A and B are shown apart, each in its own frame.
Chain A
Amino acid sequence: MILKGYHGTSHDSAEKIVAEGFKIPDHLGWLGCGIYFFYTYAKIADGKKNALFWARQVTKTGDPVVLSASIESDRYIDLLENEDHRRLFDRVYASMTDRQKELHGMDAVLDIKVAFQALAEEEIDFIRCPIDANPRRAYYNYVIRQYQVQICVKKPSCISSIRIEEGASTWTTGQ
């Protein structure tokens, strides 16, 4: 599978990434440890705008830049379009919940992040997953407020064709 992803960062970091390539960061994200990209999906997820939003609003970057890159591998988990992967990931979560109950003899809320950390320990190159990036906007209740598709790349060697998307500073994020 070959995907195009967008990564939001600062101007200085972008130039370093273009020159030296991506490196796996120390901190963990929702889908585990890896390099995070946003993916454009139909009309509901704009990867470029999501990356810019990330750079501006989350990392508070004053000089946001959006990088695009090609991500290629056949060793992936796709929770966006692969029905088998979605069904099996549901079973991963259910199995963890059942096993935890066996060990502790009680029902306990198991954060989905725990299941993703388990998945991250497996030999995979990337995970693609639809995300509700703003799940606590209470007045939206069951409506997805901020749809995103994120790609967590665990093997930098899968990433190629890194380039700076021009004109990011003039875009609106619409979020």
Chain B
Amino acid sequence: MDYGTIILEGLIEKIQKYTPADFDRLIAKANSVVDSDDTFMTSNFSTQGRIEYTFSNVTHDPISYEKLPEGPTSMTPDALVKISLDCTGAGLSCEDGAYNATGILAA
């Protein structure tokens, strides 16, 4: 058995004993990740089923225009827009949420 296999099997065992504090710590780390293709958008996930999207620099980032073809051209540079979507029980996936958020922003 190779080293990586031993590590992964050990991690699966550890997860069985995870506490809410463990999830809080890991989710906080995940939320701080800067997405390489999302210089304009970050998303926050929580155990409560709420997803929050933050849009930034949408008016002067060419990648943003590409992803928001009907984007908010009236926004000022460096503007921040935060949208919270309550996905609890709504059956929304992250991607669904992203598209809905885009629609809200465009409107």
Q: Do A and B bind each other?
A: yes
Q: Which residues of A contact B (CB under 8 A)?
A: 27-30, 54, 57-58, 74-78, 82, 84-85, 88-89, 91-92, 95-96, 99-100, 103-104, 106, 108-111, 113-114, 116-120, 122-124, 133-138, 146
Check: B107 CB closer than 8 A to any chain A CB. no
Known contacts A96-B18, A109-B87, A88 near B36 by CB under 8 Å: no
A77 contacts across to B, CB distance below 8 A: 4, 7-8
A76 contacts across to B, CB distance below 8 A: 3-4
Known contacts A29-B33, A76-B4, A111-B30, A92 near B11 by CB under 8 Å: yes
Known contacts A30-B35, A88-B8, A113-B33, A95 near B16 by CB under 8 Å: yes
Q: Are B45 and A109 in contact (CB under 8 A)?
A: yes
Q: Are B47 and A82 in contact (CB under 8 A)?
A: no
Q: How far is the CA of A100 from the CA of B16 in the complex (A)?
A: 10
A114 contacts across to B, CB distance below 8 A: 23, 26-27, 29-30, 45
Q: How far is the CA of A30 from the CA of B78 in the complex (A)?
A: 24
Pull 30 A–B residue pairs with CB atoms less than 8 Å apart, ordered by A.
Answer: A27-B33, A28-B34, A29-B33, A30-B36, A54-B36, A57-B63, A58-B36, A58-B37, A74-B3, A77-B4, A84-B5, A85-B4, A88-B9, A91-B12, A95-B12, A95-B16, A96-B15, A99-B15, A103-B18, A103-B19, A104-B20, A110-B45, A111-B30, A113-B30, A119-B8, A122-B10, A124-B3, A124-B4, A136-B38, A137-B67
